[in-house]
Amino acid sequence: MGTISSKNQDSSSNGLRHAAGDGVLYVSLKMENPKIASDLIPHVFGSLPIIGSWDSSKALSMQRESASMWELSFIVPPNHETLDFKFLLKPKSSGEPCVEEEGPNRLLTGGSLEGDARNALFRTGGADEEALEYRVFIKADIVSPFDLAASWRAYQENLKPSTVRGIPDVSINSTPETEFEVGSLELDLEHYVVPAPASACSGAVYAANLTETPRYLRSGIFSKGDASSSSHGSSKGNVLSAEHVAPRKDIEVIVPDHSKVFSASGMVESKSVSTFSQLQKQDGQRGLFVDRGVGSPRLVKSASASAFPNDLKLDTEEKKAMPAAAGAVQAAAIADRMHGPKEDRKLAIVLVGLPARGKTFTAAKLTRYLRWLGHETKHFNVGKYRRLKHGTNQSADFFRADNPEGLEARNEVAALAMDDMLSWMQEGGQVGIFDATNSSKTRRNMLMKMAEGNCKIIFLETICNDVSIIERNIRLKIQQSPDYAEQPDFEAGLEDFKTRLANYEKAYEPVEEGSYIKMIDMASGQGGQIQVNNISGYLPGRIVFFLVNTHLTPRPILLTRHGESRDNVRGRIGGDAALSEAGEVYAKKLANFVEKRLKFEKTASIWTSTLQRTILTASPIVGFPKIQWRALEEINAGVCDGMSYEEIRKNMPEEYESRKKDKLRYRYPRGESYLDVIQRLEPVIIELERQRAPVVVISHQAVLRALYAYFADKPLIEIPHIEVPLHTIIEIQMGVTGVQEKRYKLMD
Ligand SMILES: O=P(O)(O)OC[C@H]1O[C@@](CO)(OP(=O)(O)O)[C@@H](O)[C@@H]1O
């Protein structure tokens, strides 16, 4: 806080009489406006030389005490002469424009304001423009000179560097000594935007499009390298969409005879559909589709392949790519494996809910979280299967419960997706997120029968009673869903979707069976409730904990490394170095950036590690609470701490080579691996998901790679190689449409 103390001036000269022996007055002036965020900073000017002797260019700046409160405190003797002053608004780093408050001077006598503490009104535009209004508070306490001296000493001691790191443990709103001229930024932050990498967060893409592609559509499905759904779950590389797949010459097409297949393979006919799906493997053969539906997918058996796709062994590269989770997650998985029934090791989270209840966004978030923890997880969206099989022009009638063709076609693609998921589980997949309305008991029974002996099912029902949220989701659906991509008339699309929704509502049967989690009005993150039934085990418990803490309310998360450190300059890793000169300039620019970027935010918080390079980087930021996380500490290099990579290569070649070969799993002797860092960051991720206000995370290279990978849904194997340059802010926009990113490079 800014403090003025009346210097030992001759009282006759400045009108302040020193009351011999009396206490002194600790006066605090405050101005507040929770809404206004302008570049104009509140100042005080008035009769005393220390507040400019009515020269506005020498006015004293108030300090931001919080996002909406400005404060100036000073000490005067209780019987001081009346202090004439007024409030003033002017920019931090220039004299113009300078706006004086309306009304007469304010008079402060003996620590109290004469008359009422009227609000401060400023007319920054024309006479007809609405005035800016700040509430004014005045507080004056008599403190004895001894108390004051003692409190001043205590204040100084409190902020003396902590014995461990030489940095204040608590640094809330500490005012930086130096001016910001080196940190001044362009007014328009867009000036600093740099292109995000091609593989950046893809929030702008319709979430369902990023889910699994039906197996029958993958070209070259039997070719050796075909484990094309790369281990982190999204199918990449040689997967083609339906219209591109040319029938392969060397592939024999089998559409088995219904009667024979039924009796031979012990298949179960689901009541309401004519499609059969895979069950136990019979002598090396997998259960096949018998399909009398519309345009059934042709299951193919390659003349050259030794086995069916579901027998494909993930090749060593793929298996290697997805490491087993580490730490607590690994321990629990091993425990479950040792004791749990076989099908419990595979988990299907089956979404249930009416359209426009956030199922797909919830499924995508959960998929990201589980993958990031090292669980082989995939998101299957039945809507995508339907579109690829039947096109995107189904009208609302297709979704009527009393439309047999539509019902059959919808159950057929649901069974197809479920079958793909179970096949994938047989190849090593662990958690399948099955995303569809699954709105009838019949449909859910079909899925449970298919899962029997293969995996455990937990239903995840999303219920929303907030009409405004539903309306928002419906509009997003019409804007983004391929179902309405060819519909030029938004209102017509809206009408059709609402009819589709009504068709589902007529036949909707809430979940009452099996293991289930109900999320009721959780989207906003405020209120709402979760109901669980028959949930047990480590992983289901983690899933419930994650769902309790997440919401879909948009807010930015700003990720940045600390300013360049002296060890960065010297090429030394780890350590606890202070900032280089360039790093100090970045710290000031960052403070300026945060002030501009978050000026319309009522609250936000600044998270750092406990290493001084992050705390010093955060130091110039004022107005937001700062929190030090040990979990945000840089990867522990153990015995290599403080060394350069060259020194490690020379003195510990075997360590250097091991790390180069497998940087994800490699653990420094008496140090950490990237998997260890991921494990200790899980509470940080949960808290970031829980936050509704913006967060600025100032941390380190390895840590930010891991955090960024979570939001960008990057495969674990890529994490140690993600570019996280210095002096760059990665803004993650978390919201209903998923995760989008924007990058600002404040300096080279
Ligand atoms: O995993 P690698 O690529 O070594 O990156 C981690 C290293 O990055 C560094 C910088 O070299 O982090 P930091 O951001 O804290 O400066 C080292 O302290 C840390 O050991």
Each residue's pLDDT tens digit, 532-564: 999 988 899 999 999 999 888 888 999 999 999
| Mean per-residue pLDDT of the chain | 77
Q: Catalytic residue at 562? A: yes
Q: How far is CA 200 from CA 209, 380, 708, 729, 743, in A?
A: 16, 22, 10, 14, 10
- Name the pTM for this structure: 0.63
User: Residue 270: what pLDDT?
Assistant: 29
Highest mean pLDDT among 20-34, 131-145, 181-195: 131-145
Q: Is the pLDDT of residue 678 over 50?
A: yes
Please state the rounded mean pLDDT for residues 211-221.
Answer: 75
User: Residue 369: what pLDDT?
Assistant: 95
Which of these ranges, 313-317, 435-439, 650-654, 699-703, has the smallest mean pLDDT?
313-317
What is the distance, to the nearest Å, from the Cα of residue 615 to the centroid of all Cα atoms in its chain? Answer: 22
Q: What share of the chain in percent tops pLDDT 70?
A: 72
Q: Catalytic residue at 336? A: no
Q: How far is CA 218 from CA 179, 312, 383, 490, 523, in A?
A: 61, 14, 18, 33, 35
Each residue's pLDDT tens digit, 706-722: 999 999 999 999 999 99
Highest mean pLDDT among 244-253, 296-305, 480-489: 480-489
Choose one of 580, 616, 635 to mutate for the ligand 1 pocket test, by most ligand atoms within 8 angstroms of C-beta.
635
Q: Is 705 in the pocket of ligand 1 (CB under 6 A)?
A: no
User: Residue 363: what pLDDT?
Assistant: 94
User: Residue 450: what pLDDT?
Assistant: 95
User: Residue 282: what pLDDT?
Assistant: 38
Please state the rounded mean pLDDT for residues 358-364.
Answer: 91
Q: Catalytic residue at 464? A: yes
User: Residue 249: what pLDDT?
Assistant: 38
pLDDT band at residue 206, thresholds of 50, 70 and 90? low
Q: What share of the chain in percent tops pLDDT 90?
A: 42
Please state the rounded mean pLDDT for residues 623-631.
Answer: 91
**Ligand 1 atom with minimal separation from the 674 CA:** 1
| Distance, CA of 24 to CA of 17 (rounded, Å) | 11
* Interface ipTM: 0.85
Judge if the upstream peptide bond of residue 97 is cis by omega within 30 degrees of 0: yes
| Distance, CA of 448 to CA of 740 (rounded, Å) | 35
Which helix or strand (DSSP H or E) is residue 71 part of?
A: strand 69-76
CB 699 within 8 A of CB 562: yes
574 Cα to the center of ligand 1, angstroms: 6
Within 8 A by CB and 6+ apart from 94, the residues are none
636 Cα to the center of ligand 1, angstroms: 9
**Ligand 1 atom with minimal separation from the 572 CA:** 11
User: Residue 613: what pLDDT?
Assistant: 96
Q: Is the pLDDT of residue 695 over 80?
A: yes
Catalytic site residue from 291, 634, 689, 713: 634
User: Residue 479: what pLDDT?
Assistant: 82
Choose one of 700, 716, 724 to mutate for the ligand 1 pocket test, by most ligand atoms within 8 angstroms of C-beta.
700
User: Residue 277: what pLDDT?
Assistant: 34
CB 179 within 8 A of CB 173: no
Q: Is 561 in the pocket of ligand 1 (CB under 6 A)?
A: yes
Residue whose CA lies nearest to ligand 1 atom number 11? 573
Please state the rounded mean pLDDT for residues 628-644.
Answer: 95
Please state the rounded mean pLDDT for residues 152-169.
Answer: 47
**Ligand 1 atom with minimal separation from the 571 CA:** 11
Q: Is 574 in the pocket of ligand 1 (CB under 6 A)?
A: yes
Per-residue H/E/C for 677-745:
HHHHHHHHHHHHHHCCCCEEEEECHHHHHHHHHHHHCCCHHHHHHCCCCCCEEEEEEEECCEEEEEEEE
Please give the residue that has the higher pLDDT: either 277 or 737: 737
Q: Is the pLDDT of residue 337 over 70?
A: no
pLDDT band at residue 444, thresholds of 50, 70 and 90? very high
**Ligand 1 atom with minimal separation from the 663 CA:** 1
